[in-house]
Amino acid sequence: MPDPAHPRPTPAPTGAWPENFTSHRQGTDCPMCANDFSADDIGWGLLLRRGEVSNAYLWRSGQVRGYAVVIYTGRHVAEPTDLDEGRRPRSGATSSPWAGPWRRSTSR
C-alpha cells in the first residue's frame, strides 16, 4: 500500500519528458530531495546501504524495478558531474568523455 508521506513519481508518457523535468533537474521541488534519507523505506525504494555522502536504494516501483539507485544526500545534484572534483565518485560514468555531452543534451 502506498505511503502518502512518500508519493511515487507519476510516470511520464512513453517517449516524453515530464512537464516539470527541467525545474526538477534544477532543484525546484525535486522529488528526490524531498525524500527522508534517514528512513529505511522511502516509498519507491528500500535502503540497501547508508553511506557518508550518499545512500543506495533498491528501486521497487515504476518501469525500472530492481535497479540500485545511489542518491547524494548532501544537496541537490542532478548528475555526478555537477559535483566538484573532490566529491565526485570515481567511476567510468563520471569520467567518460560522453558524460558532459549527455548532461548538456538532457538540460534543455
How confident is the model over 11-34, as pLDDT tens digits?
656 677 888 888 988 889 988 888
pTM over 0.75: no
- Listed in sequence order, the DSSP H helices in 4-63 are 21-25
Distant-in-sequence, close-in-space partners of 43: CB < 8 Å, separation ≥ 6: 2, 3, 5, 6, 7, 8, 35, 61
Residues 43/3, Cβ–Cβ less than 8 Å: yes
Q: List beta partners, residue 46.
A: 41, 58
Q: How does pLDDT run across 61-102, given as a tens digit for each residue? A: 767 778 888 888 888 888 877 877 666 655 444 444 444 544
